[in-house]
Structures are given as structure tokens and as C-alpha cells.
Amino acid sequence: MACSPGVARLRRPGAPVTFTWRFLDADGVEQGRSQAFADREAAEDWMGRSWESLLAEGHEEVALHDEERDRRVYRMGLRAE
């Protein structure tokens, strides 16, 4: 179901909210995705443990995506500034 920009869909009772990480190259092109996580905290915990291996695999940036609302939560680089 498509929604107008800025309008969130209502969650169905009992429907899982899932978050995934999108792996991006230096140009911002998606190279892959993580497994789905039940909540943002679990997704961020996983990234805290996984960012070094993702960087070693050639991913330059990641974006946390809220699958329920079909929107990007935030994007960040994996290298130290």
C-alpha cells in the first residue's frame, strides 16, 4: 500500500516492525542488505559488532531502513572521519 510522503502507515496489531541495514558503496549504490531485526536497538547492536567486517568487504556506508514505514531512518559512513 502506497502512502503519501510524510504519512506513516498504521501498524496492524501484532505485526512486526522490522529494520534492515542497506550496505552502500562510495556512490551510495546499494550493494546488499542485512537480516531483518525486530527493533532498532537490535539492528544498531548488530551494526556495532559488524561494521568492521562490512568495511573490509568493501561497503563504505550503511543506511538503517524501517521496513514497516518504508523509510530510511539514517545513513552513516563506516570510516573514521
- 1/29 Cα distance (integer angstroms): 25
79: in domain: no
The tally of domains found in the chain comes to 1
Q: How confident is the model at residue 80 (pLDDT cuts 50, 70, 90)?
A: confident
Domain that holds residue 54: 31-74
Nearest to 19 by CA among 56, 67, 51: 67
67: in domain: yes
Q: What are the pLDDT digits (tens) for 7-44?
A: 334 445 565 679 999 999 999 999 999 999 999 999 99
19: in domain: no
63: in domain: yes
For residue 14, the model assigns a pLDDT of 61
58: in domain: yes
Q: Is 41 helix (H, G, I), strand (E, B) or coil?
A: helix
Q: What are the pLDDT digits (tens) for 35-72?
A: 999 999 999 999 999 999 999 999 999 999 999 999 99
| Cell numbers that stand for 42 in this block | 537490535
For residue 11, the model assigns a pLDDT of 43
The phi and psi torsions of 32 (rounded to 5 degrees) equal 170, 180
